Every structure is written in C-alpha cells, then in structure tokens.
Chain A
C-alpha cells in the first residue's frame, strides 16, 4: 500500500495570515496517463470531508482561490494564502493512483 505522511500534524494560524502544509507519498503518484492523482480534502468539525483540490493543483468547483496545491512525484504542498475562520478543520491528502486508496493522518488547523 502507498503510505501517505503529512506535516505538521497541527497548525495554529492567525486570521489573514498564510498557512502551508506538506504531504509525502511512499511512491510516485504520477500515472502513466500523465496525471498525478493526489487530492486534498478538508473535514470541518462535525462534517464529512469535502474535496478541495484534485490532481495536485486543480481546485474543485466552488473552492476559493485562496487554496492552492503544488508538487510532483512524491512531495506535495497545500497553501492557504489568507486563512479565514471557516478554514478550521483537518486537512487530509489522499492518493488515488493505486487501490487501496490511502489517506494521510491529517493536519489539524485552528485559529489563534
């Protein structure tokens, strides 16, 4: 199975300030079709996960442009340009190149 790791595991951010978190996979997520199947999900408190980013850097419908993803191969980053109060929750990266699909342990973001 592909192991996903995330750092940091928790992050406390001042509103209006940027935030960044990292995700690493134990194998390359670059598929033979040329796409890299790395996703970012946000699970707000008491809610189900919601898709933010797919294929490393594509924002899902309705996701604010303050969220951006980058990376390649095995190393990926999610950045929030200006954190808002509604961004609190746990951010999970997930790989979709090879079943079993696996998730990272999550980065918990809260507001200072």
Chain B
C-alpha cells in the first residue's frame, strides 16, 4: 500500500512562494500506473484540486491556479513537489498530496491514497 508524506514550511509570507514536497513510499513514483496530485483545504472549508503530474513530468493544473502553480517530480528521490507563487492569505490551507490510480492497474481513475496533510499559513 502506498504511503505519502507532505513536508515543507508551515508559514509563508505574503507574496512569497509556497514550496512543499511529497515523499512516496511503498511503491515507485515512476510507476506507469499512477499520477500524483495535490489537493488543498482551507481551514473549515471544502477541497480544491490543484494539479496532477505523471512520472514523465507531464502535468495538468487547475486553471484557477495555473498561472501560479508548478508541480515537479524527482524520480531519484521518489518525491514530487508543489510550488505556489505570489501567495496571499487566501492560500492558507491544509495541503494534501495523493496518488491518482489509473486504468492500468485500477481499471478506473481515482485518488486512492492521501498524505496526512500539512497546514500552510500565509502571514507576515
């Protein structure tokens, strides 16, 4: 079973760049059967999908965040990362990384395993 763990600063100043890393264990990030995604949840609110990445580096992002988001993958470390630029207080949220299983192994597509989440607060 895959396990995912987010890491990164819990406090970011307004206008700066939020950077988080997700470490995958229990499987290879280079698996052709998975994409890897980021989802966030502002305190007390609902879930917002940020974007997904394939081990090859192919990405797709939420258009609402596309101008500020970069998701990258480091296969040598079995990690993928999120960068969100020009943050404001509205970006304060718990950020989750998750595995997105694809048709190749799951005969469908879905986010099956999630990290525990990490709270990032944007404040000066």
Seen from chain A, the residues whose Cβ lies within 8 Å of a Cβ on chain B are: 1, 35, 37, 39, 41, 47-51, 54-55, 58, 60, 92, 94, 96, 99-106
Contacts and interface: CB of A to CB of B under 8 A. Distances in A.
B63 A100 contact: yes
A22 to B, nearest CB: 16
A72 B85 CA distance: 39
A96 B110 contact: yes
Contacts of A99: 49, 52, 60, 62
In the A-B complex, the 9 residue pairs with the smallest Cβ-Cβ separation, listed nearest first, are A48-B114, A100-B62, A101-B49, A103-B47, A54-B110, A105-B46, A48-B117, A99-B60, A55-B108
Given A48-B96, A96-B110, 17 more contacts: A35-B108, A37-B108, A37-B109, A48-B117, A49-B114, A51-B111, A60-B112, A92-B46, A92-B47, A94-B47, A99-B49, A99-B60, A100-B62, A101-B49, A102-B49, A103-B47, A104-B46
B64 interface: yes
A96 B106 CA distance: 14
Contacts of A54: 108, 110
A100 B112 contact: no
A17 B47 CA distance: 28
Contacts of B114: 48-50
Given A55-B108, A58-B108, A96-B109, A103 B49 contact: yes
20 contacts: A1-B63, A37-B108, A37-B109, A48-B96, A48-B114, A48-B116, A51-B110, A51-B111, A51-B112, A58-B108, A60-B112, A92-B46, A92-B47, A94-B47, A99-B60, A99-B62, A100-B49, A101-B49, A103-B47, A104-B46
Contacts of A48: 96, 114-117
B48 interface: yes
Name the residue in B96, B110, B117 with the highest tally of chain A Cβ atoms < 10 Å from its Cβ: B110
Contacts of A94: 47, 111
Contacts of A102: 49
Interface in B42-65: 46-49, 52, 60, 62-64
Contacts of B60: 99
